[in-house]
Structure 1
Amino acid sequence: MILNTCHEITTNVVTCRKFGGKIRAWKEIAKAVSNLPDHTYKHKLPSNWRRLKSKYNQYKKEGYESLIHGNFLNTSAQKLNGDACKWALARWSNQVNKCANLAQLHAEYNKEADKQGWKHIKEEKTFYNFIYDEEVMPLWYGHRYGELAAKEKFGYQFKTKMPAFRDSLWFSDGTKLNYFYLNEDGEVKTVQVYEVMDAYSEVFLGYHISKTEDYQAQYSAYKMAIQTAGYRPYQIKYDNQGGHGKLKSGDFLSKIARIQTATQPYNGKSKTIESAFSRFQQQYLKRDWFFTGQNITAKKQESKANMEFILANKANLPSLEDIKKVYEARRKEWNSAPHHKTGKPRIDMYLESQNPDTKAVEIWDMVNMFWVTRKKPITVNASGLSFKEQKAEYHYMVYTEDGMPDLNWLKKSIGKKFVVKFDPEDMSEIRLFEDTNLGLRFVTAATTKLEVSRGMQGQEEFEASHIKKVTDQVKKVRRSARDEMEDILFEHGMTAEQQGLNKPNLKGIERSKKGRKKKAQGEIGQYTKAISNQDWDDEVDLNQEVEVNLSEKIV
């Protein structure tokens, strides 16, 4: 810029005459150039008019290249180069035998320099300039501080904008509920909370508090969110941890939203709910004295708990039920508070907004959405159906309209496998489906199996009647099954009687035609009794006559 100005002055006849001619003009120009303020015009042009004129002539002849210093890109003056640079970088990046600081790196380098024939480095600052060079830092940062920290510092960050209306995007995430409570054993504990939030308004729509973040917590939070909104969201985003795999396998998430996506793993900035929940902790949960503080990465002293005071008042800590009530109240305060960008109450933003692409939820939609498909099918046995869920065991039976076990269905279904759908919040009923080539086919519903007391002393009035009805029905089914098969055998001339032998009676149901005569040999009950009383080392003839006092038999 300065040399171009010199050219304008010296080549313009009128201007050059004002400066006193060409020779006089260069002297005045050199004087003006030397008086230019350094902070505005950072140059190294000579102040002597002859040298300045010479520099100008070189510039006019060679162009901009004449202004570049001769040592530019010349590495001969570098103190660290070649293998020495690589060694220093490798030593600083060593994750096992870590280099504590630059002073250690300086000392170890000079020892290595003696072995390798490198130049000794006098100042520690040389290593600082090399290690913290903008082009070198990305190489070692991940090895020294972790790849996620390097990703956070050097990775590309998208600029995004929030949805323009409600129910366009819901975020969900689980975290620690930042309250201490006292359990029944007098221990100080914390629990987890799973929240579902509308991205547009930051309204907390649904939540669930539990000891761990599992699929049931997520299920309950989404169910509450749907009930609160009255609409299905267009898209939901979740962290793909906890029990989301189970929800996806049961088609739960696809029933709720048109699009279901997992947030980018290990990328806190993609989780808008984390930012909102952090503000919720700082502005609302922090008001209660039993606040646990924010997560362990929080650096501010204000974000930490006053453990001295909490431990001094350990006996006064609230119960789990108490903190659930406090948390519910704080959520209402958050939803009613002004949004940090619009200034309007969050709940008003949500309720006043309309989404043209979302569908209102009807009663039958709730049933369809919130019944989860169990991953593994269940096999029916003589006891009905049983399975474990969340470490709890459940037993079911198919009952008729009059409340009796459907023994005909049970007889035909033993050994079959059924796909089960259930509501995790109401395990009193399950739905059974057959897995066919065309998809799941509904078979029937089963309810919790009725439990009766084994001893008469503990039986309630209805139990004795129920037991008798079921016992009579069992006998009826046994007779029916036997008679059905006997008819088939008779039709083909294959009954025992048609072949000259006797048909055995149904034990416990039918009696011998000869009446109540004493019988020892041949009775199956006596035979099995003899087996149960035998020791393995006894030599007993099981065909010998067993004396039985029929009067002592229990019929």
Structure 2
Amino acid sequence: MVKAGIVSEPYLKKALNQQRNGKVSCWPHHKEGKLVFVHYDGLNPQYKARIETIICGNVEPHLYVTTANSQKRNQALELINSDLPNQVETNPADIKELSRTGYYTPTEVHAIARAAAWLRLWNEFDVKRARAAGYPKVTDFQLAAFKHVLAEQSKGMVRFKKPLNNERVLDRNARLYENEGLKSLITGLMGNNNRRQINDLNHAILMELAGDRLKYSFEDIAMMYNDMAKDTGLVMLTVSAIKQHLNQPKYRRVWYFARHGEQAGNLEYQSEATRREVSRPDALWSIDGTSMQLYYRAGDGKIKSDLYTYFITDAHSGAIIGWSIGYTETSQVVTQALQRAVNFKNYKPYQLQYDNGSANISKAVTGLMTNMSRVHFACRPYSGKSKYIETYIGHFQQRELHKMENFKGGNINTKTNDAKANPELLAELRKNPERLPDFDQVIADFEAAVITWNKRSSERDSYGYFTGQSKLERYEAAHPERTSVNYFDKISLFMADVVNTKTTDGGYKYTTAGIKMTINKQDYWFIVPDEGGKYDHQFQRHNLGKSFNIRINTENPEFCILFQDGKQVAIAREKELFAACVADYKEGDASNIREFCRRQEEFGYQYSKAEMQKTRILMEASGTLKATGTDGIMHYSMQDKTSFNRAESDIQDQLNGMAELTSLEKKLLKLTR
């Protein structure tokens, strides 16, 4: 009443005191100990209205009081329920007995022992103990206990013969445990005489038969074992007993490797690492190739499905950012896909993930990967789960390519019919090949499927519509740690070492026509141009016949880099080709040919003649009768090196206009010029 603003606290106390003394009559009430309860029903209507509005929040007071009391009881019950698992006490004797059987792992032993503890607690809680613990009814305890047991069962903390799914099953287990004890929780082990009779010798024979690479069935293993048992006096065992023994986890993983091989054993039993999601776009590109899985009509009218597709996927978004198409996995196909991925949005990856395919680990591709990324290495062999792209390719085929009637189906090992093509549809296509796309159209259909895939998001609403960011939007999201590339970066990125398989050192020889290379079945000639930028007389003069290692962008072969002993020597550019006949002349061809001929003459016989004459004059000036040896043009040695160096220095002074010319020097100057 005070809180509702009806009266003040002093007035209320004074009025109730005077009413009890018979001096006034105000409100009906009664007293319980020191508490005084004013009767709501005896109040004036205006007081009731104020209490209902201010105290009860416009809820009828009787309902308000009932709800408040219920909330208090529920809060108290929740507190009791939360403490219930602390009352479950595992019996050390149970753990010891279960461990002695040798049939369970330590984790399984503790799970069964805790299940027994819950069943004991269930049987101990009668009505009296339930009320003492704060439960209004014993069924309230049973409901709370079942919820806790169910939660622990999902986490593997308890283990029953069969998983529990309702309170009745838990109650049935508790009654059975009360009668049979721990035996009621053991699945056909403790009470199986055959199992108890398996000793070290029996076990060794069974393991040897199970691990045989001929893969005998359990029935055959039982027959062969029991034949030996008759001859050796061993106990005969049933198929069921042998199967239960061999399929124990600690034994099965041993014979499974021997029976099925390392690869199958690893897939079945090796622990899997749980990885966090890739944090940003371009942090990891996962790459791999597979059959396109699409039929098409070839130029000769035959139905084919021989196209091979190489994918580049961004592991953060799942987007397909690069792809290439060929007939098999080659280094060229891998390079084309990587180049397309870089060109997609002008970014390069931090890490590349791939398998040990021959194209991926070729020298050209590994060199390219080193240029492109900070980190790259192959995944563990025969471990598809370690590659993100395995999942993406499978989903792409089943969710996009599967929509095309020329889809041939997924992997031949797939077990679901939804992943396979309809045989009646394929029969119709064989009879009507004109319904199939031709080569160009199947390529266009595939590229359209990639675009559709990138527009998909990973989530759908209840009506089947895509929600959230698409794969492409996730890939395009800005991130400060991404590495962008420009036009020149992209050219240098794809500069890779190219090995000449026709030479022992893998190098290319510089000939009078320059360096000839065949790239993507097309011939190219490269020269190191003179200062004029067209011809290579100067470089050829010093390097004719020498072998160079080449680094080039095979997808954009505008130029290549020449190396010797790991050091860069020069940059060679694609050679200009002249017309073979006058009819094919283009503007400027005639003047270019004349200039080329003039340069040939300049650096041909006349050049050689002038150089030799210069040598003779220098020898005369030094008083030397003849050269002691030559090593190519302009390379010679003399008996008096000091005199030769002085004469050569004087000539250079005259060329620079720093001294008067003698008659001999005038001859040399004329020849030099």
Give 2:432's match in structure 1, choosing from 313, 328, 341.
313
1:349 maps to 2:474: yes
2:389 is the alignment partner of 1:273: yes
8 Å Cα contact 2:195/2:245 also seen in 1: no
Q: 1:331 aligns with which of 425, 435, 450?
A: 450
What count of residue pairs does the alignment treat as equivalent?
442
How far off is 1:100 after superposition? 4.0
Code of the aligned partner of 1:85: H
User: Would the alpha carbon gap of residues 302 and 254 (structure 1) be closer, same or farther in structure 2, given more than 3 Å must change?
Assistant: same
1:152 aligns with 2:261: no
Structure-2 residue corresponding to 1:215:
331
SS across alignment from 2:173: coil
SS in 1 for 2:177: coil
Give the Cα separation in 2 of the matches to 1:448 and 1:486.
33
Cα distance, 1:77 vs structure 2: 6.3
Residues 99, 105 of structure 1: 8 Å contact kept: no
Q: 1:143-542 to 2 correspondence within 5 Å?
A: 143-187=258-302, 188-246=304-362, 251-305=367-421, 306=423, 307-340=426-459, 343-351=468-476, 353-375=477-499, 376-389=506-519, 394-399=524-529, 405-427=535-557, 429-435=558-564, 440-448=567-575, 450=577, 453=580, 460-461=584-585, 470=596, 473-476=599-602, 477-492=604-619
2:207 aligned with 1:89: yes
- Cα separation, 2, equivalents of 1:360 and 1:161: 25
Cα deviation for residue 44 of structure 1 reads 5.8
- Higher-Rg structure is 2
Q: Any stretches of 5+ residues in structure 1 without a counterpart?
A: 16-35, 47-54, 56-63, 500-555
In structure 2, do the counterparts of structure 1 residues 363 and 93 end up closer, same or farther at CA, with 3 Å as the change threshold? same
Measure, in 2, the Cα distance between the counterparts of 1:287 and 1:3. 58
> How much has 1:140 moved relative to structure 2?
1.8
Q: CA deviation at 1:165?
A: 3.0
Residues 103 and 392 from structure 1, CA distance in 2 versus in 1: closer, same or farther, beyond 3 angstroms? Answer: farther
The question of whether the paired residues in 2 share the 8 Å contact of 1:106 and 1:124 is answered with yes
Q: 1:129 to 1:412 in 2, by over 3 A?
A: same
* Aligned residue identity for 1:326: D
Question: Aligned AA for 1:103?
Answer: E
Q: C-alpha separation between the residues in 1 aligned to 2:273 and 2:562?
A: 46
**Structure 2 residues not aligned, in runs of 5+:** 1-116, 133-169, 461-466, 500-505, 627-673
**Amino acid of the structure 2 residue aligned with 1:328:** E
Higher relative contact order (CA 8 A, sep 6+): 1
Task: Please state whether the residue corresponding to 2:305 is helix, strand or coil.
Answer: strand
Q: Assess, with a 3 A threshold, how the Cα gap between structure 1 residues 466 and 150 changes in structure 2: closer, same or farther.
A: same
Taking every aligned residue pair, what percent have the same amino acid on both sides?
Answer: 22
Distance in 1 of aligned mates of 2:493 and 2:486:
11
Q: How big is the shift at 1:398?
A: 4.0
* 1:426 counterpart SS class: coil
How far apart, in 2, do the equivalents of 1:420 and 1:310 lie? 49
Following superposition, the deviation at residue 285 of structure 1 comes to 0.4
Q: 8 Å contact 1:286–1:293 — kept in the other structure?
A: yes
The structure-2 alpha-carbon separation of the partners of 1:75 and 1:39, relative to structure 1 and needing over 3 Å to count, comes to: closer
CA contact (8 A) 1:181 1:190 kept: no
* Distance apart, 1:108 and its partner CA: 2.1
Give the alignment's Cα RMSD to 1 decimal: 3.8
| Cα distance change on mapping 1:303 and 1:473 into 2, 3 Å | same
Contact 2:286 2:388 in 1 (8 A): yes
Partner of 1:425: helix, strand, or coil?
A: coil
Counterpart amino acid of residue 39 in structure 1: N
Structure 1 residues 45-81: Cα deviation after superposition (integer angstroms, max 9, x where no partner): 58xxxxxxxx9xxxxxxxx9xx99xx97999963443
Match of 1:528 in 2: none
Rounded to whole Å, the distance in 2 between the matches of 1:243 and 1:393 is 23
- Measured at CA, do residues 151 and 8 of structure 1 come closer, stay the same or move farther in structure 2, by a change above 3 Å? closer
Instruction: Pick from 167, 173, 179 the counterpart of residue 39 of structure 1.
Output: 173
Q: Pick one of 251, 255, 260 that aligns with 1:136.
A: 251
Structure 1 pair 380–103 and aligned structure 2 pair: CA distance change class (3 A): same
